[in-house]
Structures are given as structure tokens and as C-alpha cells.
């Protein structure tokens, strides 16, 4: 009895980080709700690989694409809240119930927060043969209302919302063509089967530099450091237009505090490495760290901005 009491007292005396060392004891599944090959998948791989040494267990990617990210998001929302299933999320994970009925999860109720990975610009890209300036492209689209096809990485994705916000700001109409991720959408843009598309800047840069697609500008108020010669859409002729997607790690609501603390610490250490910062920047992601509580506040504030975009585009369903 004395030995049992002594052991219990010793455990209580340990600081929280020491108690959290019990997690993880097996690989952590990082669900990517998009197809492989896009910026989100690449960012998840970079962060997961960088966190692995600090967790002592591998972070294994699990791609579950479809329904604008809802399939992967639902999978994590309904997984055991033990910290072993997490999601690389974006704004669309949280604004989805605003634009779609019967969403199989409630973002406000079903998720807990680990931390952000970063944010970055989208780029407006067009198929070969269309005008190579923003005013020229807008004029061509206005001349043929509804004739242009606008690709996205999925119905209700941030790619889709960026396009809808652009259409509203530019005064054009188009047919939306959703894909199951960034890679197939880009393939059809390069192939000339769709007319324009908003995607993470890093995803479009290689094809744009090779001349396979047009690159009209980026959606952030400042130019992307990877290509300072590419103008912002504001500079190109669309005053006030600014949208920046974000990426972050979340999991099922009710995850153990020790597990969240351990993953948050691993993420912080990963994002402090210059090589990781550089690799994320190459994917168009400006990395930054917040603790779980601050990240939750950040997500809620960003959600307000995206809901405003949804309302302005006339896409709110409830």
C-alpha cells in the first residue's frame, strides 16, 4: 500500500509534459481530405515528416478525397478522440454548413484544435489561348456570359469560393466544374478542357513558367515572394480583392489534453526549423505557430470572413 501511494504521489509530482510522454505509442494518422499531388497534400507531408522525430512515432498520410473535403473531414470528426486521427483542415472545413445542407458533421461541435501550419495566396490561372491580362480576361468573360468553365478543387472548397468571390467582384458569370482535388483540376486546365481556376500559388507556378497556362495574379494584398514579378489582382485591376486560404491541424473534439499538448509542441518545433519553413514557402504557405486556444480564436475569426464571401456570392443555404 505504501509503495502504491508513493508511486501515485510521484506521478502527480511530474509536470504535464512528462505525463504527456505516454502519447503517442503508435503512428498518428493525418487525413488529407483532397487527392494527392495538390498543395494541401504536399504541405501535410512536409509537416507530418517534420513532426515525426519530435513525436517518436510516424505521422502517416491518409488521403480521403471527395465532396469538397467533406469525406475526409467527416472521417476525422467521427474517429475516436484519442489523438491518433487528425486532419489537415482549411477554411472550408468550417464554413461548409453555410453553403451545403445536410453536412454530416458540425464543425463547431465536432472538432478540437492543435495548431496552424500557415496561410498563403491563391493564383488566378487560365487556359492557353485566353487573354493574358486581367482586364482582357474579364472583358472576354463578360462578352460571353455563362460560357466560360471555372474549375475548382471541389464543391464548396476555398478554391471554389475564391472563384465565386472573383466572379462577383469582376461582374462575370461562369459554369462551375468541381474536381476531386487540385491535381485533376490542373490537368484539365493544362489540357484546355476548362477556362480558369483558382489554386494555391505553388501548385500553378511550374505550369505557368512553362507557358502551359496563363497566370494573371495572386489573391493576397502583397506579391508572393516566390515570384515577385507576378502582380496581385488588386494591382492587375480588381480593387480591394483579397483572399488567403489557411492550413491547420485539428482532430475530434475531446482529445486528451496531454495528446494535444504533445502534438502542439511537435508542431511548434517543426515550424521553427528553417528547412521546413523554406519547404512550406515553396508550396505557397507562409508558416506561423499558435497554441491550440489561439488557433481556435484564429479559425473563428477567419470563418467570419469566409461567411461574408459566401453571402456576397449568394451561396448561403441557411
| Domain layout of the chain by residue ranges | 26-119+245-312, 122-236
CA distance linking residue 241 with residue 135, whole number of Å: 14
Phi, psi of 239 (to 5 degrees): -55, 135
Q: What is the pLDDT of residue 17?
A: 46
pLDDT digits (tens, 9 = 90+) for 20-69: 458 999 999 999 998 888 889 999 999 999 999 999 999 999 999 988 78
Q: Residue written as cell 491550440?
A: 292
Q: How many Å from the N-terminal Cα to the C-terminal Cα in the chain?
A: 60
Q: What is the CA radius of gyration of the chain?
A: 21
CA distance linking residue 303 with residue 285, whole number of Å: 19
Q: What is the pLDDT of residue 10?
A: 38
213-216-220-222 Cα dihedral, nearest 10 degrees: 120
Q: What is the pLDDT of residue 231?
A: 96
Retrieve residue 120's grid coordinates: 498563403
Answer yes or no: same fold for 26-119+245-312 and 122-236: yes
Phi, psi of 237 (to 5 degrees): 130, 15
CB atoms within 10 A of CB 6: 10
CA distance linking residue 124 with residue 219, whole number of Å: 8
Residue of 37, 32, 34, 35 lying closest to 47 (CA atoms)? 32
CA distance linking residue 170 with residue 160, whole number of Å: 15
CA distance linking residue 166 with residue 232, whole number of Å: 13
Contact call for residues 24 and 55 (beta carbons, < 8 A): yes
Q: What is the pLDDT of residue 21?
A: 58
Retrieve residue 7's grid coordinates: 508511486
Q: What is the pLDDT of residue 30?
A: 98
Residue of 240, 218, 242 lying closest to 305 (CA atoms)? 242
Mean pLDDT by 10 residues, the chain (318 residues): 38 42 93 88 97 98 89 97 97 89 93 96 96 97 96 86 92 93 92 95 88 95 87 95 93 98 98 97 91 97 90 76
- Helices and strands, number each (H, E), in the chain: 14, 11
CA distance linking residue 155 with residue 143, whole number of Å: 26
Beta bridge partners of 60: 29
Residue of 214, 225, 216, 207 lying closest to 285 (CA atoms)? 225
- What CATH code would you report for 26-119+245-312? 3.40.190.150
Topology, domain 122-236: D-Maltodextrin-Binding Protein; domain 2 (3.40.190)
Q: Where are the alpha helices (DSSP H) in 78-224?
A: 91-99, 107-110, 134-143, 158-170, 182-190, 201-209
Amino acid at each position: 500500500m505504501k509503495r502504491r501511494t508513493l508511486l501515485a504521489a510521484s506521478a502527480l509530482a511530474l509536470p504535464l509534459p512528462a505525463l504527456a510522454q505516454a502519447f503517442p505509442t503508435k503512428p498518428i494518422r493525418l487525413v488529407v481530405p483532397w487527392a494527392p499531388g495538390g498543395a494541401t497534400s504536399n504541405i501535410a507531408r512536409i509537416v507530418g515528416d517534420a513532426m515525426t522525430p519530435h513525436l517518436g512515432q510516424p505521422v502517416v498520410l491518409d488521403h480521403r478525397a471527395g465532396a469538397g473535403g467533406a469525406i475526409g473531414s467527416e472521417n476525422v470528426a467521427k474517429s475516436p478522440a484519442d489523438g491518433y486521427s487528425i486532419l489537415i483542415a482549411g477554411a472550408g472545413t468550417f464554413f461548409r454548413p453555410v453553403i451545403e445542407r445536410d453536412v454530416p458533421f458540425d464543425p463547431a461541435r465536432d472538432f478540437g484544435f492543435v495548431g496552424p501550419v500557415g496561410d498563403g495566396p491563391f493564383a488566378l490561372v487560365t487556359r492557353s489561348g485566353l487573354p493574358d491580362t486581367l482586364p482582357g480576361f474579364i472583358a472576354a468573360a463578360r462578352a460571353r456570359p455563362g460560357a466560360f468553365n471555372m474549375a475548382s478543387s471541389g464543391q464548396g472548397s476555398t478554391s471554389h469560393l475564391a472563384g465565386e468571390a472573383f466572379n462577383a467582384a469582376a461582374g462575370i458569370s461562369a459554369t462551375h466544374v468541381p474536381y476531386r482535388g487540385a491535381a485533376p483540376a490542373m490537368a484539365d486546365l493544362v489540357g484546355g478542357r476548362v477556362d480558369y481556376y483558382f489554386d494555391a500559388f505553388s501548385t500553378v507556378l511550374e505550369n505557368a513558367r512553362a507557358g502551359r497556362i496563363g497566370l494573371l495574379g495572386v489573391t493576397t494584398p502583397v506579391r508572393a515572394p516566390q515570384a515577385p514579378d507576378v502582380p496581385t489582382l488588386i494591382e492587375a485591376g480588381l480593387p480591394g480583392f483579397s483572399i488567403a486560404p489557411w492550413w491547420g491541424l485539428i482532430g475530434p473534439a475531446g482529445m486528451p489534453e496531454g495528446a494535444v499538448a504533445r502534438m502542439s509542441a511537435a508542431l511548434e518545433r517543426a515550424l521553427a526549423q528553417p528547412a521546413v519553413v523554406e519547404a512550406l514557402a515553396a508550396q505557397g504557405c507562409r508558416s506561423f505557430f499558435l497554441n491550440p486556444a489561439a488557433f481556435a480564436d484564429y479559425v473563428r475569426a477567419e470563418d467570419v470572413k469566409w461567411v461574408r464571401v459566401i453571402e456576397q456570392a449568394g451561396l448561403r443555404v441557411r
